[in-house]
Amino acid sequence: MVKTEVALKLNGKNIKLKAPVWKNLLDVLREDLGLVGTRGSQGAGNCGLCLVLKNGKTVDACSIPFFELMDTEIVTIEGINLIKEFPDRSLIISEVLKNTVSYRSNSIIMAVKGLFLEKTFPGDDDIKYALSGILSPVDDSNGIIQGVKKLVNMRSRRRR
Amino acid sequence: MINFVSDIYPEGTLYGITVRSPISKGRIVSIKIPKLPKGYFVVSADSIPGSRTINTHPKTCIARPWLAEGNVNYKGEAVLLMAGPDRNTLSYLSMKVSIKYKKEKAILNTVNAETVEEYLCRTAIRRRGNIDSAFKNAYQIVEEEYSTGAQRQFHEEPQAAVSVWNGTRLLIISNTQDPFGVQLAVSEMLRLPKKKIRVLVPPVERAESELLKYAGDEREAEVNSNVETICFNPGFNGRLMDSVVVAGHSALLSFVTGKPVRMVYSAEEDFMYAAKRYPVIARYKTALDEGGIPKAIKAEIVMDAGAYTDGAEEIFERILTMAAGSYGFPNAEITGKLVKTDRIPFGVSVGSGTPQAFLGIELHSARLAEISQLDPYIWKKKFLIENKGILPSGARLPDYKGAEFVLDSVVEKSDFRRKYAAYETLKKRRTALSDTAGPLRGIGLGLCFQGMNNDKDNDPRKYSLRMKLARDENIIVYSTFQNLELMRAVVLSAAGNKLGLKNVNVSAAGIDTDTVPDTGPAKPLIESVLIPRLVNECISAVQKKRFNSPLPIEVKKVHRIPAVLKKQIDTKTATTFSSVSWAAVVTEVELDPLSFEVLIRGVWVAVDGFMGGGTDISAGENSRCIKATERGVRQDIVIGLNLAAGRGIKFESGGIIEKNIIQNRGYMGILPYIDISFVKNEMHSEKNTGFVRTGVHGLSVAAVAPAYVSAVSQATGFYPNHLPVTPLTIQEYLESS
């Protein structure tokens, strides 16, 4: 079994990881590191469940080969509150998810966090783009989008 | 620490995968397995020590085998199971397995299956009045055919199970709706006594907060205590037969290898091989007199069960019962055919057959209303079921007046009559679609009912519920019910009413076959019958013991069929419904005359099934119940719209096209304006439940689809007869005409 070693920063800690070359980031997180908050379904970018932040941008963990992780900074849902920028996880849970959780909520939290890291005041199209492919047919998509808009307003009030 | 099944990785676990048939029908000629590295295993049907078919539905026509032996009957059928410590190696080895088949002619669509005798599993006929004479004297005969395709049953977590066999006992952790069904099926497969098999269903609603330890969040405890429990798509989320299969496969692998085995379907595997909604073809022929009054109806229902029929018979019966809708046709003939095809076994989905039954008859009734030049609301009211609630199919509806209440409510709220008249005038004035300057508009009305039946009455399993009044006067319920919101509300109400305990703390014990009794598969239609009945019986038993015995008091009650229903079942006079709930839906749409993109302007829903938690519980609890129910209705509307206007499931040489997964998931656009109202039906019996409460879940799906299609039809002048209706199908039709 061909293994490779990479050094990366995961949830604020510098670590070295050894894993078979064919593994992707999602497998490493869930199977080797026990960070099962990043959900997945062993597919290839088809379910929108495995969002993580790679160097501050949201990416599907299942589509990143393990060997591409050298010198990157990865933040998963377990470490999301180490990023102090607005909004924190509790706020996303209360305003966007309306205090409900499901199998997909971690992915929505990551998408919203990534959106606010990328754009200070995201517009309607930015919000829809960030959430596209993540919301499921049975999600209250209107409620979620309204929740994100509320966060945008909160941020703009704080800035003032 | 308990979490989602797919998040569980026991120490030393092996991954399990399924080797599937690449052909739709054929005979297995030979199986060649490559030399396996140490620690890798292959299991075939020959390794099964007990029953080789899944016996959860003992009276089914064609039972499903655990693993194919001899023949394969659909593309994707499980032939072998493999287990090993590395998933990638396992998947490489699975590709090296060589199975040779001798292909046979497969039947891959419902229409072809109808004509082949060996594919016809069951037929049925229901008659009322003198159908021949009515058709002979008819002034006009209207004939139409409608069909619904397969629909994905959306669930977030794929089918998953983790099994651990320690030599004496088997532990199965599964996200099933029917833990005792899994226990029964696996015990027969492995020839183990049931007590040696323990099935656990993780309480997913709390999983997130219990699982994750978030770094750097000091307010975590506060956040977790504020996180509301969510029973996602309560109970009924496509985890009946498929979950039994996955749990059985992982149990078999663990039993053979002696190691923990984790079997989790990938999103693609789940999409392609998990059960989809039964496709149905409905053909209607109605005899009208000179005044446009329907005198007789002939309905022919053809339901496709897929390769195996487990569970299909129950849905087939339900569809036949509801095939003539809510209308009192004086003469009727309803015939039904349950056929098999060489495709994936289809399955029970939200609404349990109601959407398939009502789509055809509601669209047909809209057409009849148009022919009679009546507004659909007036037509429906005029021909609604009367005669003590006896349907043309012979079934009796106990709460049949509900139709009027919901119709009146939804029509008033949506301003249906005014809008319908206005859009009808526009449609008549128009000579061609290109004449329209602005968008094309239409509005549709759908009506449906859902009967809570007693299909458990013929089931050999005994269903019971256990309840404990603890020392601190809190109540703990032991059951396999997954609709915790409903159970909590019923317990609170009954405890307040009978025990005088206000705002008591109610908790549900975790679902574990070792500690809870078998309360049956967590199906909303069943739960809405059993929860009120069993909870009230338990509370009454506690009431009797309360001042004679010290706390804690523990009671257990077994489900028994009410005498009236038992008599009906014994004499086979009618299909029995213990209660019925109604829904009426109005959908208004706007279409772009060039692209035919549909914008839904609003959906108005009235249901008579739920009136909150009753008077015996606090306002806060009441509002919580209503919110949870509204959330369920909202989900039903989305599922209904998805059925009517989604992408649908497409088959190619007998298998589901994998790339369709993209269209069948994810963001489906901004939800329209949705108005939900709960209407009081004075006919609902309150003696059993203490307050008005019947099944709501899955109800609205059946009325949303016909309302949407009628609206599109009014807007375009095109009469769709197959779901889903997409801009492409509209365009194709208009171009061809």
Q: What is the mean pLDDT of chain B?
A: 83
Contacts of B388 (CB under 8 A, 6+ apart): B396, B400
Q: What is the per-residue pLDDT across B381-438, written as a single tens digit (0 to 9) for each?
A: 999 988 677 888 877 777 778 889 899 999 999 999 999 999 999 888 887 777 677 8
Q: Could A136 and B646 be called an inter-chain contact, meaning their C-beta atoms sit closer than 8 Å? A: no
Distances (CA, A) of B337 to B58, B315, B316, B317, B352: 20, 12, 8, 10, 17
The total number of residues shown for chain A amounts to: 160
Task: Provide the strand spans (E) within B234-320.
Answer: 261-264, 280-288, 294-304
Count of other CB atoms within 10 angstroms of residue B507? 14
Q: Could B215 and A94 be called an inter-chain contact, meaning their C-beta atoms sit closer than 8 Å? A: no
Is the model's pLDDT at B50 over the cut of 70? yes
What is the interface pTM, i.e. ipTM, of the complex? Answer: 0.85
**What are the boundaries of each domain within chain B?**
5-105+154-273, 280-454+571-736, 457-560
Q: Could B230 and A137 be called an inter-chain contact, meaning their C-beta atoms sit closer than 8 Å? A: no
φ, ψ (nearest 5 deg) of residue B242: -60, -40
Q: Chain B partners of A136 at a C-beta cutoff of 8 Å?
A: 154, 156, 665-666
Dmax (CA) for chain A in angstroms is: 57
Q: Chain B partners of A99 at a C-beta cutoff of 8 Å?
A: 226-228
User: Taking residues B626-643, what's their average pLDDT?
Assistant: 78
Look at residue B236 in the predicted model and tell me its pLDDT: 45
Query: Could you tell me the pLDDT band of residue B345, with boundaries at 50, 70 and 90?
Result: very high
Q: What is the per-residue pLDDT across B283-305, written as a single tens digit (0 to 9) for each?
A: 999 999 998 899 999 999 999 99
Query: Among residues of chain B, what percentage have pLDDT more than 70?
Result: 83
CATH topology of domain B457-560: Aldehyde Oxidoreductase; domain 4 (3.30.365)
Q: Chain B partners of A88 at a C-beta cutoff of 8 Å?
A: 217
Q: What is the CATH number of the domain that holds A89?
A: 1.10.150
From A78, A102, A134, the end of a domain falls on A78
pTM: 0.89
Flag the least confident range among B50-54, B95-99, B265-269.
B265-269
The whole-angstrom separation of Cα B283 and Cα B281 is 7
Same domain membership, residue A63 and residue A107 = no
Same domain membership, residue A109 and residue A48 = no
As for how many domains chain A has, the answer is 2
Please check whether the domain covering B280-454+571-736 is classified as CATH 3.20.20.120.
Answer: no
- A-contacting residues in B 130-159 (Cβ below 8 Å): 154, 156-158
DSSP at B219 = T
Q: Chain A partners of B662 at a C-beta cutoff of 8 Å?
A: 46
Q: What is the per-residue pLDDT across B539-594, written as a single tens digit (0 to 9) for each?
A: 999 999 988 888 899 999 987 766 655 655 555 544 567 677 889 999 999 998 88
Taking CA–CA distances from B85, the nearest residue in chain A reads A31
Q: What is the per-residue pLDDT across B262-289, written as a single tens digit (0 to 9) for each?
A: 999 987 888 889 888 899 999 999 999 9
Taking CA–CA distances from B267, the nearest residue in chain A reads A41
- B-contacting residues in A 62-101 (Cβ below 8 Å): 77-82, 88-90, 93-94, 98-101
Q: Could A42 and B230 be called an inter-chain contact, meaning their C-beta atoms sit closer than 8 Å? A: no
**Residue with the two structure tokens 């790339």:** B659
Look at residue B567 in the predicted model and tell me its pLDDT: 59
Provide the Cα torsion A90, A91, A94, A97; round to 10°.
Answer: -90
- Burial (CB count within 10 angstroms: exposed 0-12, middle 13-18, buried 19+), residue B562: middle
Same domain membership, residue A136 and residue A72 = no
Look at residue B568 in the predicted model and tell me its pLDDT: 56
Is the model's pLDDT at B233 over the cut of 60? no
Q: What angle do CA B514, B520, B525 make, to 5 degrees?
A: 150
Domains B280-454+571-736 and B457-560 share a fold: yes
B710 and A CB contact within 8 Å? no
A111–chain B nearest CA distance, Å: 14
Highest mean pLDDT (candidates A143-152, B2-11, B298-307):
B298-307
Contact call for residues B253 and B14 (beta carbons, < 8 A): yes
Highest mean pLDDT (candidates A38-47, A127-136, B93-102, B316-325):
B93-102
Same domain membership, residue A154 and residue A89 = yes
Is the model's pLDDT at A42 over the cut of 90? no
CATH annotation of B5-105+154-273: 3.90.1170.50
The whole-angstrom separation of Cα B499 and Cα B539 is 8
Same domain membership, residue A89 and residue A48 = no
A103 and B CB contact within 8 Å? yes
The total number of residues shown for chain B amounts to: 737
- Read off the tokens for B402: 């509900």
User: Taking residues B64-69, what's their average pLDDT?
Assistant: 95
B671 and A CB contact within 8 Å? yes
- Read off the tokens for A78: 């377990």
From A52, A78, A104, the end of a domain falls on A78
Q: What is the CATH number of the domain that holds A43?
A: 3.10.20.30
B230 and A CB contact within 8 Å? yes
Taking CA–CA distances from A19, the nearest residue in chain B reads B86
Highest mean pLDDT (candidates B16-20, B153-157, B558-562):
B16-20
Please give the residue range of the domain that contains residue A41. 3-78
User: Taking residues A80-99, what's their average pLDDT?
Assistant: 86
Look at residue A36 in the predicted model and tell me its pLDDT: 85
Look at residue B664 in the predicted model and tell me its pLDDT: 59
Q: Chain B partners of A134 at a C-beta cutoff of 8 Å?
A: 666-667
From A29, A48, A78, the end of a domain falls on A78
